[in-house]
Amino acid sequence: MNETEISTLGEFGLIKELTKNFSLKHKSSVMGVGDDCAILDYSGKDTETLVTTDLLLEGIHFDLTYVPLRHLGYKACVVNFSDVYAMNGVPRQITVSVGISKRFTIEHIAELYDGIRLACEEYGVDLVGGDTSASVTGLIISITCIGEGVKGKTVKRSGARDTDLLCVSGDLGAAYMGLQLLEREREAGQGVEDFQPDFAGKEYIIERQLKPEARRDVIAEIAQLDIHPTSMMDVSDGLSSELLHICQSSGVGCRVYEDRIPIDFQTAMMAEELNMNLVTAAMNGGEDYELLFTVPLAQSERIQQISGIRLLGHVTDERLGMAMITRDGNSEITLKAQGFIMEK
């Protein structure tokens, strides 16, 4: 048997490799692997069922030295809800499975579930099942979310067309810079008794990392304004990576303007303090859970009625590839996605 390291394929290559021999057999399986959610049709009527799942592992996705368990529970839910909104759907139910090592007490796990309950209440979602198990090391959280979409209104990654406008909600890079700050303070605190981390003036980026929200409000506004995105996804792995997904799925290219990328003041300040490239952080940081979507050019005016939506650029013919136009307008940087987190 050959021995190929998993990192050679990357996460998306691995999924492609593993699922290449699977085909869909049921008429209720409308769409399988390859978008924010799978689409199932159980109603035979005007709605369809959306399914998404996320696996969160201690030491890979979170560090409990600075992530409170309540926040972790909240975030673990929100990242799944975000995938359902990214299909223009509404999350309805979740199942939560947890693997728990011996260092956790019932009170610890109850805190995790407090956060899960808060997220469920906030977003109107029901916890309907799950599994609990001992684990050898660390905490494991696996959440599956089931949502509801309206047939014909569910938005995939694959519908972007040449000349469509590229839009994004909120701002980017803040969660990533929040993580950098949390890591810095964790290191500063090692071995120091009664260490108090210094987050003054950086509350926004900390909150973006520890307690992200899913953009249900944006979904409500686009519905109200009768806007029909041609493609959509949430920004979980970073803008570059998501643009690549939309362009590949839709068979198009894109142009993004560097000076249009929305960045919060605290994000910029933190990047300067840490001497990091701000645009790189915004393009590749990830965990923003903002919505990236495309709309036909004709809906340009309507889109601009929603506050906090930024026009990033536009969709092009596939042959033009994916590029970012630099701030001075003189050069184009080809966009590439960052890889799969195989190691911390």
Footprint on residues 110-169 left by its own copies (CB under 8 A): 110, 113, 117, 120, 124, 126-138, 140, 142, 144, 146, 148
**1 is a site residue for its own copies (CB under 8 A):** yes
Of 187-195, 204-212, 215-223, 334-342, the segment contacting its own copies by CB under 8 A is 334-342
30/38 Cα distance (integer angstroms): 8
272/274 Cα distance (integer angstroms): 5
User: How many chain residues are in contact with its own copies, going by CB under 8 A?
Assistant: 83
**99 is a site residue for its own copies (CB under 8 A):** yes
Of 4 and 190, nearer to its own copies (C-beta) is 4
Radius of gyration of the chain measured on its C-alpha atoms: 20
316/321 Cα distance (integer angstroms): 8
Of 58 and 287, nearer to its own copies (C-beta) is 58
Tokens of 108: 């610890």
Geometric angle at alpha carbon 220, from 70 and 54, rounded to 5°? 40
Of 175 and 261, nearer to its own copies (C-beta) is 175
Of 126 and 203, nearer to its own copies (C-beta) is 126
Inter-residue long-range contacts of 109-113, CB under 8 Å, 24+ positions, other chains counted: 109/69, 111/68, 111/69, 111/70, 111/73, 112/69, 112/70, 112/72, 112/73, 112/139, 112/141, 113/73
Helix axes 203-210, 265-273, angle to 10 degrees: 100
154/147 Cα distance (integer angstroms): 11
| Residues 53-72, interacting with its own copies (CB under 8 A) | 53-55, 57-61
Of 9 and 333, nearer to its own copies (C-beta) is 9
**44 is a site residue for its own copies (CB under 8 A):** yes
Out of 64, 67, 109, 276, the residue judged to bind its own copies by CB under 8 A: 109
Nearest distance, CB of residue 284 and its own copies, angstroms: 18
| Residues 6-35, interacting with its own copies (CB under 8 A) | 6, 8-9, 11, 14-15, 17-19, 21-22, 24-26, 28-29, 31-33
**37 is a site residue for its own copies (CB under 8 A):** yes
Tokens of 272: 């300067």
Nearest distance, CB of residue 285 and its own copies, angstroms: 18
78/93 Cα distance (integer angstroms): 12
